[in-house]
Amino acid sequence: MKKIGAWIGTIAGVALGGFLYGIEKIFGLSVYTLLMNVDFIPGVRHAMGHPALEWMLHLSVSLSIGFIFVYIVEKRKAWDSTFRFVLSGLLSAGAALTYVPLTLLAIQETPSLRDGKAISLWLAGHAVFGLVLSGSYDVLKWKDRPAAV
């Protein structure tokens, strides 16, 4: 269970990071910067400016979400894809809601709370995260599925 949670969390985290990085490079919106921003957290501030450390912090959050997803799915024996899709959507929505506190707490410049384009793309990135989270679980667990009754 832990292994698949780590894998799907990593895959989804890479998808989210890659999506927001591309958005930042193409449109010039600091959504990737916002994703990586930890300048307001005492004790972790030193990671700012070190892309590898920022990336590891991001992936640790993604891994945690992957573990939570797998724990809930396997604890409930929720083999139907609708439940997994809804669950990944809820977990992704929870992560997407961090836009507000991350923006309010940020010391360095990040998109404003009134930047509709940045918010829309942030939400789209987290939708990608949710789809990849659920989809990668389906792909990695395909061979282990119980037979249909």
For 30, the token pair is: 């600091």
Nearest-angstrom CA–CA distance, 85 and 131: 7
Q: How far is CA 110 from CA 32, 65, 90, 141, in A?
A: 9, 24, 25, 38
Which residues in the chain land under pLDDT 50?
149
pLDDT at 146: 59
Q: What is the mean pLDDT of the chain?
A: 88
pLDDT at 39: 74
Please say whether the beta carbons of 40 and 107 come within 8 A.
Answer: yes
Nearest-angstrom CA–CA distance, 14 and 9: 8
Answer yes or no: pTM beyond 0.85: yes
